[in-house]
Amino acid sequence: MVKCKGMFCTIIWEKIMKKLYIKRSFAFFLMIMVLFSVLKINTVFAADSALWPECPSIKAKEAVVMDLATGTILVSKNGNKKWYPASTTKIMTAMLAIEHAKSLDEEVEFTKEAIDAADRGSSSIGITPGEKLTLRECLYGLMLASANEVANALAIHTAGSIDAFADMMNEKAAELGCTNTHFRNPSGLYEDDHYTTPADLAKIARAAIKIDAFKEIASTRKYVLPKTNLMKEKRPLSNTHQLFNPMQCPEHAYEYCYAGKTGYTREAKFNLVSYVKKGAMDVVCVIMNAESRDVQYTNTKKLTDYTFKRFRMLQADKIPLNLSENAGGTYAHILENDPSAEFTVSGTATLAVPKKCDINGVTAKITENELTAVEAGANCIGNVEYQYGGECIGNVELIYTSSKSYPFNKPQPTPETEPVEEAEKGINFVAIGMIAASVFMILALLWYIFVYRKPSQVARRRYRKHRRGINKRNRLKW
């Protein structure tokens, strides 16, 4: 009876150890998989973090800083999150009105529809139906005083109706590469499906500031509207953007800000677009969904100061192109006709990069234009996209200057590649096999040490101790 009892205990013990052995094996391999995954993720994250500065802590819910020269997003917090733009919408309105106008001196007549479409109590300069202003005067009323009836009048004047103008706004947004933007009105008054993102709004602001008339008006601090056909007194206007026009809040003054647009509704909260330039760096900062006026201004200063501290401008022509490795047919055709050909990018083209950027870490990807001939003088033969830390930091035209015009020769048939050459260019399966075998042997050794050998030794020691205990009890019973 004692012997059977001992055997039963031994069987139970072996089953327990077997289960423990299986669990240990599974846990070991799971640990290895997790370890490799974590190492891979952390390595990539560490590399990106080391190369590209992170956004500092700010109170606004969304924000971006974009380099105006290249369109590169330098700093971002929820940059692709949709939000209501409020009156920063008027940047798009002003841009379209200027682009479609024959002259800034053309006359705009205010209709009852334009005035009624603006909510009572919202931003206004007190225009009455039938009043006439020049388009230039309207733009000052739009960008400085943020007048909603002016936005509506410009929309009707430009497109015939507010709805038609909204369609134009959406078409322009798509043209600029805005993928998360939809406009319903020219003023920015709240509508549920009237939204954009900080990144998209920065694209719109970048396009607008390239227009001289827009830049002149958006950077104006004060303006006086002259008398009109119905208004016998002048109307003084003051820009609501307090970074470059601090008015009664001198603490908001920021010497590097030269233009911008404010925006506020109850639903959208405080939104701000600011054009800021320091030295060679010119950026646009977009703040969205800020809880207060003070937050939008202090956050703009913090983000742009951080940008100027962490980034610098790099001349694109200082970066090696490695044309022999990256270029294709067009490049080959030109060399065929002009062996001493020189290829350049614009000497004035600059790229915004982190201050710690190593020029050798910047890569240049060349996309060639399909040309059949070149003309005497400068020829754009393609585009160079520069990347750093996994981010596109700019696109520049690749230029070839020729002393004469000539057509390209017809391309010759590509010769069949020899099997040996293909093998040399192909994947090195031997090396991959050796690496895989080495990894397998290391894992097998670790498994033997930590899963098989050590638990087995422990189990044997426990089993011997267990048997000694049974024998001791048996001797006592006898």
Among all residues, which ones are annotated catalytic?
87, 90, 146
Query: How many CA atoms are closer than 13 Å to the CA of 462, on its beta-carbon side?
Result: 12
3 in a labelled binding site: no
Token pair, residue 377, equals 């003088």
Q: Give the closest residue to 139 by CA, choosing from 233, 234, 227, 216.
A: 216
Query: How many CA atoms are closer than 13 Å to the CA of 281, on its beta-carbon side?
Result: 26
Residues at the binding site for substrate are 261
